[in-house]
């Protein structure tokens, strides 16, 4: 199964039939992952934002609620991507504040230049994370934020016995690609792409998710 096929049929949230379901999904994520909100950026006032691997638009909506002027929503799951405009309407945002950026399986990355780049839980599912980081660096004007699966986590050590094959089977069953990197390893990966990455902390089951502030070098 391709990445596009998997994520079109297995979105992280949705589908949504109305505004109530859309709002409930945003609240559910906050409740499901205590501590996440404190690790995320708290103000996007006046910014243009790229959400790379946006899925059904959870963080697209969050950025708009926190003052983003415009959000570029990029994802390989084009069917899921096309559901985001309806969510914007339900939440009272104008369609003109959103640009959909369909991503292709062939790895071609033509990304817009923005103030802030956001990528949550996506890099570890890509075929060429180094190339993606380089493309994100080219897009990143002032800042960025990333979340990755952490090889330093208790989840990786205890549930997966530090075995990448066991991890790939257990973390997202059926997903074509699932990697995990140590915090220091990811910092070096970012440095290779001319990005300065600063660890912010972990959250989720067994501290599986690791968050980073990103800055262009």
* Domain at 3-216: CATH architecture: 3-Layer(aba) Sandwich (3.40)
Distance CA 49, CA 63 (A): 8
Give the pLDDT confidence of 61-79 residue by residue, as tens digits.
999 999 999 999 999 999 9
Helix, strand or coil, per DSSP, at residue 13: coil
Domain residue extents for the chain: 3-216
Helix, strand or coil, per DSSP, at residue 138: helix
Give the pLDDT confidence of 150-200 residue by residue, as tens digits.
999 999 999 999 998 899 888 988 889 999 999 999 999 999 999 999 999
Q: How far is CA 80 from the centre of its chain?
A: 14
For residue 199, the cross-strand partners are: 212
Give the CA count within 13 Å in the CB-facing half-sphere of 115: 13
pTM of the predicted structure, to 2 decimals: 0.95
């Amino acid at each position: 199964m391709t990445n596009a096929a998997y994520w079109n049929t297995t979105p992280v949230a949705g589908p949504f039939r109305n505004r109530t379901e859309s709002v409930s999904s945003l609240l559910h994520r906050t409740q499901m992952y205590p501590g996440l909100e404190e690790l995320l950026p708290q103000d996007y006032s006046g910014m243009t934002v790229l959400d790379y691997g946006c899925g059904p638009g959870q963080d697209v909506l969050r950025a708009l609620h926190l003052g983003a002027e415009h959000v570029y929503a990029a994802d390989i799951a084009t069917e899921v991507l096309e559901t985001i405009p309806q969510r914007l309407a339900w939440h009272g945002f104008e369609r003109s504040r959103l640009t959909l950026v369909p991503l292709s399986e062939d790895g071609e990355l033509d990304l817009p230049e923005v103030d802030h780049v956001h990528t949550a839980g996506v890099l570890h599912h890509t075929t060429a994370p180094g190339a993606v980081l380089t493309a994100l660096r080219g897009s990143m004007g002032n800042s960025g934020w990333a979340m990755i699966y952490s090889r330093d986590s208790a989840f990786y050590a205890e549930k997966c016995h530090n075995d990448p094959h066991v991890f790939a089977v257990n973390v997202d069953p059926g997903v074509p690609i699932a990697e995990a990197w140590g915090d220091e390893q990811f910092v070096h990966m970012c440095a290779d792409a001319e990005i300065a990455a600063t660890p912010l902390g972990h959250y989720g089951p067994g501290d599986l998710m690791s968050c980073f502030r990103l800055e262009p070098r």
